Amino acid sequence: MTTQDGAAQHGSSIDSRLGCSTISFRAWNLPGALAEINGQGFGEIDLGALPGVCDHVSTPLPPELVDVLAEQILASGLAVRLINADVAEMDDPGLDAAAIQRRLRTLVDLAGAVGTSTIMLACGRQGTKPRTELSRDIATVARTLTAAAEFVNAAGLELLVEAPHARRLCADLGRSEMLYETLGDAPVGAVLDLSHVVASGGNEVDAVRRFGDRIGHVQLRDAVLGDINRSIGRGEVDFPAAIEALAAAGYRGHYSLELETHDIEDADRPTEAGRAGRYITSLLQGVSPAAADVDARP
């Protein structure tokens, strides 16, 4: 099926609150990833800027590439919900406010050029072992995030942090709660990725209970304990319960499929994104998967 055929088949069947991260198509170049996402009927993206994971946006981003990337994205017709970036080891005590702001500058320029209001950052370096001592490292992350928030807020943007992240410092619900308590009133919201909750041994509904007031975005992928790279329906994430809990908590934000999965071939990714999109849409719209003729499992 061609991208155009996919668009014709799926069209507006994807809920407007549900996007697809370009990380789902990290093996494609950016224009190719945008075409596949568009072709499956999505209207918006999370834009990947993660060195070694998804290089659709180079990090650091050279100033001369800002307009190039913006032109490609705007030409796709897809809205950008947020830029998902890893700009530094956020638990590095030597990273001062000037350094983090310098690394964010061109991403802020890109955000303005593509019309998104949000940048998302990581909760520490790769690896769950503290650099020094856990509470001290979490305090460093909080301090760095606060400096980043001041910079992006001044540009009219908001900052989110992905915590928990099962492969970083704030790996589970307990450590993430420590981070949010340390942040206090700092203007830093939460990205809740359900795969990281389950992979780290947590419960989706409990995560919503703990972080509901901070949640500014939700990312979706399936998982089992210790493995975040499952296609939706091939793991243990309870998507219906999570989405119901989010709705009950008053969450009115958006969701994104971040299908960085290791259980399918790249050739199957467009079809899988469409299938997952229609399944999650059925949950967001209060239609049972059976009634919507959508299979939750590949």
Beta bridge partners of 235: none
Residue with the two structure tokens 């099962």? 166
At 29 the pLDDT is 98
Q: What is the DSSP letter of 125?
A: S
At 78 the pLDDT is 98
Q: Which of 17, 23, 35, 44 is nearest to 280 (CA)?
A: 17
Element containing residue 8 per DSSP (H, E): helix 3-10
Question: What burial class does residue 154 get, using C-beta atoms within 10 Å of its C-beta: 0-12 exposed, 13-18 middle, 19+ buried?
Answer: exposed
The neighbour count for residue 13, using CB atoms within 10 Å, is: 15
At 287 the pLDDT is 57
**Non-local CB neighbours of 25 within 8 Å, separated by 6+ positions:** 32, 33, 36, 37, 269, 270, 273
**Non-local CB neighbours of 151 within 8 Å, separated by 6+ positions:** 97, 100, 101, 104, 108
Residues of the chain with pLDDT under 50: 1-11, 291-293
Q: Contact at 8 Å (CB) between 5 and 36? A: no
State the pTM of this model: 0.93
At 9 the pLDDT is 40
Q: Which of 234, 212, 240 is nearest to 221 (CA)?
A: 234
At 94 the pLDDT is 95
Cα of first residue to Cα of last residue in the chain, in angstroms, is 18
At 14 the pLDDT is 97
At 297 the pLDDT is 59
At 293 the pLDDT is 46
At 298 the pLDDT is 61
Q: Contact at 8 Å (CB) between 197 and 207? A: yes
At 147 the pLDDT is 97
Q: Contact at 8 Å (CB) between 1 and 36? A: no
At 20 the pLDDT is 98
